[in-house]
Amino acid sequence: MIGKISSFMVRIVNRYLPDPLVFAILLSMIVFVWGYFIVTPKEGSSAVMSMVGFWGDGFWNLLAFTTQMAMIVVTGFALASSEPVKKLLNYIASFAKTPKQGVALVCFFGGLASAINWGFGLVVGALFAKQIARNLKAVDYGLLIACAYIGFMTWGGGLSGSMPLSAADASNIIVKGYLDGNPIPVTETIFTWYNLFVIACLLIFMPILVTYMVPKDPKTVDPKLLAEEPNYQRVLDKDATPALKIEESKLLTYIIVALGTVYLANYFWQKGFTGLNINSVNLIFLLSGMLLHKTPMAYMRAVKTAASSTAGILVQFPFYAAIALMMEDSGLGGVITDFFIDIANKDNYAVWAFFSSAAINFAVPSGGGHWVIQGPFVLDAAKELGADLGKATMAIAYGEQWANMAQPFWALPALAIAGLGVRDIMGYCITALLFSVPIFVIALYFIP
């Protein structure tokens, strides 16, 4: 049955799902029109011009985040192209002897990595899937990359989950404005029995689920997509110029890596594990890549190869920034959340908050932006109903991570690394979305 459902979803996606850029443009139009009917224009302005202003003002709001995501693709790809990492990934991938073992291993590996850090999981999961595809010629490459993305469902409740970490920060604008400055400790969000249940179930049942999605006739993959990255080391002639010798100097690499290592050691000494964020992961990837490539120019040659993979990220993320501000400033995010909250009670509130979060995620697929838009409405209602604030916070996080399986935004880094399109993976991801619903509902409704 699972195989038939996934095959059906793959056919539907291949027929009707547009490219992610077109998806973002269509979503912009939908949010704009919907917002037009509910926005309250400022004095002297019209509803149309208000929405136009929100779109334009928000368009560049994610520039820093866009750069971070481009960097994680580039630094992760460059790190994986080093000889030691290629050997390590190949060794781990060698444990998979059949297509079913391959997809299960990728799903588990991606889920575990995402639970540790979401940026790390996105990149390493895709790179590992690529290595499995090189080893197992009979496996469907699109399914492997989908498995890496399915593993991403653990991130919201993992150690780098942006919503529980934001709720635990007394300086966070939502905590100060809607919780009277009283943060929700991670012992009431991440380190709870219901969250451990969610993480464990995703790590156990999703790898089992994907084994039933393995197609009998896998798609033929372009061999160029699986080509091994070249060795970027350069051997200099004896009469090489001083400039070339400096460029290929290992000493320069060791100096900058030592500087970065001292900084990171001091940084984590002060902040502990909570300091593991996208910036620190990027720096770790960059320094590790430089060290393993040995010379500055060897690393730069690897980066140049990886840079072409960032085109989709650079163009599409600004559209989602514009959509997020239209959702927030028009009041549309509040309207969607209130619809679900109005039919909830103290016992089922977290479940309805979960589904409202999933609905909003299609327009705002960003943990931080999601928290800013939906957090105020969900927390206010939770206080009024006497519901668990920690569980309400995690309901937003779960809804976002679950709905990502039908939203191509976060798949872009993995697709960039794999060289695939969104239609190659989303049918499998939507199947995982359908079968994972009970995990979240059980956790939010039955487990304290």
Q: Identify the residue whose tokens are 């300086």.
A: 171
Name the amino acid, one letter, at 202: L
Average pLDDT over residues 259-283: 86
**Taking the chain, what is the end-to-end CA distance rounded to the nearest angstrom?**
33
Average pLDDT over residues 355-371: 80
For residue 277, what pLDDT band results from cuts at 50, 70 and 90?
confident
* pTM of the entire predicted model: 0.83
The answer to whether the CB of 39 falls within 8 A of the CB of 47 is: yes
50: pLDDT strictly greater than 70: yes
What percent of the chain is predicted at pLDDT more than 90? 41
Query: How high is the pLDDT of residue 219?
Result: 82
What percent of the chain is predicted at pLDDT more than 70? 98
Q: Give CA–CA dist 198/207, Å, rounded.
A: 14
Q: Identify the residue whose tokens are 């999933």.
A: 358
Q: Taking each helix axis as running N to C, give the angle between helix 389-403 and helix 193-211, from 0 to 180 degrees, rounded to the nearest 10.
A: 20
Q: Give CA–CA dist 315/25, Å, rounded.
A: 11
Q: What one-character-per-residue DSSP string does 359-388 give?
A: HHHTT---HHHHHHHHHHHHHHHHHHHT--
Name the token pair of 257: 């890596």
401: pLDDT strictly greater than 90: yes
The answer to whether the CB of 152 falls within 8 A of the CB of 110 is: yes
Q: Burial level of 94, CB count in 10 A (0-12/13-18/19+)?
A: exposed
Residues 6+ apart with CB under 8 A from 245: 236
What is the overall mean pLDDT for the chain?
A: 87
For residue 274, what pLDDT band results from cuts at 50, 70 and 90?
low
Name the token pair of 296: 């500055």
Average pLDDT over residues 161-173: 83
239: pLDDT strictly greater than 80: no
Max avg pLDDT among 35-44, 52-61, 68-77, 413-422: 52-61
Average pLDDT over residues 48-72: 87
Q: Identify the residue whose tokens are 């010798």.
A: 245
185: pLDDT strictly greater than 80: yes
What's the DSSP call for residue 406?
G
Query: How high is the pLDDT of residue 179?
Result: 86
Q: Burial level of 351, CB count in 10 A (0-12/13-18/19+)?
A: buried
423: pLDDT strictly greater than 70: yes
Q: Which of 23, 54, 78, 18 is nearest to 365 (CA)?
A: 23
91: pLDDT strictly greater than 70: yes
Higher pLDDT, 315 or 309: 315
For residue 71, what pLDDT band results from cuts at 50, 70 and 90?
confident
Higher pLDDT, 418 or 261: 261
For residue 337, what pLDDT band results from cuts at 50, 70 and 90?
confident
Name the token pair of 113: 């990595």
For residue 287, what pLDDT band results from cuts at 50, 70 and 90?
very high
Q: Which of 156, 99, 155, 94 is nearest to 128 (CA)?
A: 94
For residue 383, what pLDDT band results from cuts at 50, 70 and 90?
confident
Give the number of other CB atoms < 10 A from CB of residue 45: 12
pLDDT digits (tens, 9 = 90+) for 8-33: 877 887 787 788 788 889 989 999 99
Q: Which of 67, 147, 26, 58 is nearest to 330 (CA)?
A: 58
